């Protein structure tokens, strides 16, 4: 990837992140202010759970949570019920038997989904609005407790990693089937990736846990052991002991968690120093890199010597080279572009000038009709077929004209304008390919130095990259990298100077450029000069071709009308395919050249990008909120282990 493209890519990525952030602020969203779990463990090994959600909802019609099917963890989910709590009263939802992607407001289901997992879903009816709601979701988990010889165990993930909603606060209360004689007989552990929770046995039959600033995509898992005699019966009984296994596992995870906390604590205590040191280091590295580049550019600049024209000219009355096409003459005068294509406004003038030149060469004829009513009609009539006497860029334009006429013998200017506006791809291709053909011609004619042109484009691209990088640094890092930004600006200026001093034009090209500049200046000022210096009128047909390419045709025509007030009386001997009569007696320049330029600009604007596709936006029709039944990635949070 070229340097310029890399810088542009980085800038686009930055803008995309900003854009995505803007979209997210407008799209549908969910956020839990508080999520409470009230859990009652029953002596038959089941578990009654009530979840209370205080949730901000935007552009959402259905909420749901999923329990992954896992017979090693539980036997099933029953007794599902949904209620909305508002103004101190509870309103029950109506149960439906079937799973649905969208659920009608006030209805709920609790059944297997298409993935064969158990799912609870309820309709909230906020497709195009937002509100803060409170819901109670209750259900029974059958055989949630595993009964061992020494202890009974609850090992349950209350929130799975596929839970899509962040929460400000989560807390839960777990009530045992009966009280224990000694609170130390209750063992508790909690797991979460954020390591920001706490869990305690707060009474002889009660366990409480809480955590704040929960982020979506993480999990909350509780593990507790309590005396096995509290469970009378269970569908999951194992002949063995669990205490030592659990303590061993949890101790290992606790050590990892504590080490992680210590690292995080060290980072938090040294964060300012780390940030400052990192910024300073990056600044130093960037400054070193840019200073080395700057020195390299300065040395390069000192070795360059710009070609100068052999003869300095203020005016040049003759055509520097009659074989030069309008596109070539324009390019010789303007070597600044690095876009590898023409702008619509520039090519509109070249295109018009080439049509006039083709008329002079006998390939086309331009006629004007003046109907009694309506606007004047300008016609382009095809006289000769394309042959090898034309240069490639001229053939290219003539081919385009024939295609625009649908291979008929003539067409109106209006038809040409319409074709240009409605065939955007063809017009874009015309601009790019004609530019390329003109460049190749100038290289083959030893007017442009191919190697120097590559180097010129390289330094212009580097200069653009420096400018984009400077804008990026100043916009997104403010003054943090101000010194590197200063060196970026210096390097951009140096690259610009190098590009300007490179001899893209050969000595032959420089001399031709001086003559074309002199001719352009002469055409702009000739009415102010001695009339003896003014050439014959017939010569102006050729001059006006290049005046059109240079964008000064209107000015030249005004001067011609001043110098030749009796034009109609002296035009008898002008060439057969002359357009001088049309030019001098109408608003030809405005009607023709400006119309073509306008059409080019319109086509290029509407066609820019080369294609299109679907786009979409808006809120979430349904938000998947799942609770996984098991997750093997466990990290210990603060815990109460009474031994």
Q: For residue 567, what pLDDT is reported?
A: 61
Q: What distances in angstroms separate CA 515 from CA 100, 312, 313, 316, 320, one per listed residue?
A: 79, 9, 7, 6, 6
Q: How far apart are CA 501 and CA 456, in angstroms?
A: 9
DSSP-assigned states of every residue in 496-557: HHHHHHS--B-HHHHHHHHHHHHHHHHHHHGGGS-GGGSPPTTHHHHHHHHHHHHT-HHHHH
Are residues 230 and 178 in contact, defined by beta-carbon separation less than 8 angstroms?
yes
By three-state DSSP, how is residue 309 classified? Answer: coil
Residues 277-299: what's their mean pLDDT?
A: 94
Q: Please report which helix (H) or strand (E) contains residue 144, including its range.
A: none
Average of per-residue pLDDT across 85-97: 93
**pLDDT by residue (tens digit) across 427-479?**
888 888 999 999 999 999 999 999 998 999 899 999 999 999 999 888 888 78
Check pLDDT > 90 for residue 598: no
Q: Which candidate, 236, 242, 240, places its Cα nearest to that of 141?
A: 236
The pLDDT tens digits for 495-514 are: 999 999 999 999 999 999 99
**Separation CA 4–CA 176 (nearest Å):** 67
**Mean pLDDT across the stretch 147-154?**
94
pLDDT for 580: 67
Q: Are 144 and 71 in contact (CB under 8 A)?
A: no
Q: How far apart are CA 505 and CA 578, in angstroms?
A: 34
Mapping DSSP to helix (H, G, I), strand (E, B) and coil, where does residue 405 land? coil
Calculate the alpha carbon distances from 357 to 68, 398, 541 in Å.
Answer: 78, 11, 9
Write down the pLDDT at residue 30.
92
For the chain, the helix, strand and coil percentages under 3-state DSSP, each to the nearest 5: 45, 25, 30
pLDDT per position as a tens digit, 530-584: 655 556 667 788 888 899 899 888 888 887 777 777 665 555 444 444 566 666 6
Residue 202 CA to chain centroid, in angstroms? Answer: 53
Alpha-carbon gap, residue 514 to 308, rounded angstroms: 9
The answer to whether residues 517 and 546 touch, using CB atoms and an 8 Å cutoff, is no
**pLDDT of 638 over the 70 cut:** no
Q: What is the pLDDT of residue 584?
A: 61
Edge-first strand listing for the sheet containing 187-192: 145-147, 151-159, 220-227, 187-192
Confidence of residue 640 (pLDDT cuts 50, 70, 90): very low
- pLDDT classification of 19: cutoffs 50, 70, 90: very low
Give the relative orientation of helices 482-501 and 271-303 as an angle to the nearest 10 degrees.
20
User: What CA–CA distance (Å, rounded) separates 111 from 80?
Assistant: 9
Whole-angstrom Cα distance, residue 589 to residue 524? 16
CA distance 378 to 365: 10
Position 397 scores a pLDDT of 93
Q: Which is it for strands 94-95 and 107-112: parallel, antiparallel or unpaired?
A: parallel
Q: Tell whether the model's pLDDT for residue 634 goes beyond 50.
A: no
The Cα–Cα gap between 481 and 285 comes to 11
* Cα-based torsion angle of the residue sequence 631, 634, 637, 639 in order, rounded to the nearest 10 degrees: 90
d(CA 66, CA 110) in angstroms, rounded, equals 10
Whether pLDDT at 635 is above 60:
no
**Strands 167-175 vs 118-142: parallel, antiparallel or unpaired:** unpaired
Instruction: Decide: 51 and 122 in contact? Cβ < 8 Å.
Output: no
Specify whether the CB–CB gap between 154 and 144 falls below 8 A: yes
Mean pLDDT of the 9-31 span: 53
User: Looking at residues 183-200, what average pLDDT do you find?
Assistant: 88
Structure tokens belonging to residue 381: 């009539």
Over the chain, what is the mean pLDDT?
83
How many beta carbons lie within 10 A of that of residue 352, not counting itself? Answer: 24
Q: What is the pLDDT of residues 60-89, one digit of tens each?
A: 999 988 888 888 889 999 999 999 999 989
Alpha-carbon distance of 171 to 38, in angstroms, equals 9
What is the sign, positive or negative, of the torsion defined by CA atoms of 299, 300, 303, 306?
negative
CB-CB contact of 206 with 176 (8 Å): yes
* pLDDT average, residue stretch 375-383: 85
Burial 31-54 (b: 16+ CB within 10 A, else e): ebeebbbbbebbbebbbbbbbbbb
Q: Give the position of tokens 């839990």.
A: 32
Distance in angstroms (rounded) separating the CA atoms of residues 94 and 13: 47
Task: Determine what percent of the chain is predicted with pLDDT higher than 70.
Answer: 82
Helix or strand or coil: residue 418? helix
- Helices 392-404 and 344-360 sit at what angle, rounded to 10 degrees? 90
Say how many C-beta atoms besides its own lie within 10 A of residue 11's C-beta: 17
Decide if pLDDT at 214 tops 80: yes
Q: How far apart are CA 617 and CA 621, in angstroms?
A: 11
pLDDT for 345 = 81
List residues bridging with 38 in a β-sheet: 50, 173
pLDDT confidence of residue 505: 93
pLDDT number for residue 628 = 35
Q: What is the DSSP string of 37-89?
A: EEEEE-TTS-EEEEEEEEEEEEEEEEEEEEE---TTT-SEEEEEEEEEEETTE
Region 350-358: mean pLDDT is 90
Question: What pTM does this model have?
Answer: 0.54
* Mean pLDDT, residues 512-532: 83
Give residue 409's Cα distance to chain centre. Answer: 47
């Amino acid at each position: 990837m070229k340097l310029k493209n890399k810088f542009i890519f980085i800038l686009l990525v930055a803008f995309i992140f900003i854009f995505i952030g803007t979209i997210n602020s407008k799209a549908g969203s969910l956020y839990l202010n508080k999520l409470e779990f009230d859990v009652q463990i029953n002596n038959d090994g089941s578990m009654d759970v009530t979840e209370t959600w205080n949730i901000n909802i935007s552009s959402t019609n259905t909420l749901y949570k999923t329990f992954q099917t896992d017979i090693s963890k539980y036997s099933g989910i029953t007794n599902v019920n949904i209620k909305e709590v508002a103004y101190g009263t509870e309103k029950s939802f109506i149960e439906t038997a079937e799973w649905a992607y969208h659920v009608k407001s006030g209805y709920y289901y609790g059944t297997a989904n298409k993935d064969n997992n158990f799912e609870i879903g309820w309709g909230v009816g906020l497709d195009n609005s937002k509100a803060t709601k409170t819901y109670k979701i209750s259900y029974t988990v059958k055989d949630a407790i595993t009964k061992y010889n020494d202890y009974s165990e609850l090992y349950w993930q209350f929130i799975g990693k596929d839970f899509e909603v962040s929460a400000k606060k989560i807390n839960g209360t777990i009530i045992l089937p009966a009280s224990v004689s000694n609170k130390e007989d209750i063992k508790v552990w909690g797991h979460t990736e954020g390591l920001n929770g706490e869990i305690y046995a707060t009474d002889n039959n009660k366990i409480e846990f809480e955590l704040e600033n929960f982020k979506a995509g993480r999990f909350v898992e509780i593990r507790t052991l309590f005396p096995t005699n509290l469970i009378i019966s269970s569908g999951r009984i194992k002949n063995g002991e669990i205490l030592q296994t659990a303590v061993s596992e949890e101790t290992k995870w606790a050590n990892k968690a504590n080490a992680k906390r210590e690292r995080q604590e060290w980072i938090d205590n040294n964060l300012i120093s780390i940030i400052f040191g990192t910024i300073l280091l990056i600044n130093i590295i960037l400054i070193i890199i840019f200073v080395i580049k700057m020195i390299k550019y300065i040395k390069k600049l000192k070795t360059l010597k710009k070609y100068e024209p052999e003869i300095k000219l203020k005016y040049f009355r003759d055509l520097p080279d009659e074989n030069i096409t309008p596109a070539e003459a324009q390019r010789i005068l303007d070597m600044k572009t690095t876009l590898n294509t023409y702008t619509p406004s520039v090519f509109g003038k070249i295109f018009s000038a080439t049509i006039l030149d083709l008329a002079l060469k006998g390939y086309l004829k331009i006629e004007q009709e003046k109907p009694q009513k309506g606007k004047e009609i300008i016609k382009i009539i095809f006289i000769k077929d394309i042959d090898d006497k034309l240069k490639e860029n001229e053939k290219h334009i003539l081919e385009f004209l024939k295609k625009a006429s649908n291979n008929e013998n003539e067409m109106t200017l209006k038809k040409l304008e319409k074709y240009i506006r409605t065939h955007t791809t063809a017009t874009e291709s015309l601009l790019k390919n004609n530019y390329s053909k003109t460049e190749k011609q100038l290289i083959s004619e030893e007017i442009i130095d191919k190697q120097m042109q590559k180097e010129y484009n390289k330094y212009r691209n580097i200069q653009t990259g420096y400018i984009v990088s400077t804008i990026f640094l100043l916009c997104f890092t403010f003054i943090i990298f101000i010194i590197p930004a200063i060196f970026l600006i210096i390097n951009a200026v140096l690259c610009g100077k190098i590009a300007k001093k490179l001899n893209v034009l050969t000595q032959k090209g420089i001399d031709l450029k001086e003559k074309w500049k002199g001719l352009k200046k002469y055409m702009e000022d000739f009415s102010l000069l001695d009339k003896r210096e003014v050439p014959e009128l017939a010569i102006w047909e050729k001059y006006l071709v290049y005046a059109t390419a240079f964008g000064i045709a209107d000015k030249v025509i005004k001067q011609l009308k001043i110098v030749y007030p009796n034009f109609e009386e002296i035009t008898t001997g002008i060439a057969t395919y002359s357009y001088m009569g049309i030019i001098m007696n109408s608003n030809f320049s405005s009607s023709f050249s400006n119309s073509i330029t306008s059409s080019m600009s319109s086509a290029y604007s509407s066609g820019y990008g080369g294609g299109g596709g679907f786009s979409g936006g808006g809120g979430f029709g349904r938000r998947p909120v799942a609770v996984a039944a098991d997750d093997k990635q466990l990290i210990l949070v603060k815990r109460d282990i009474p031994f």
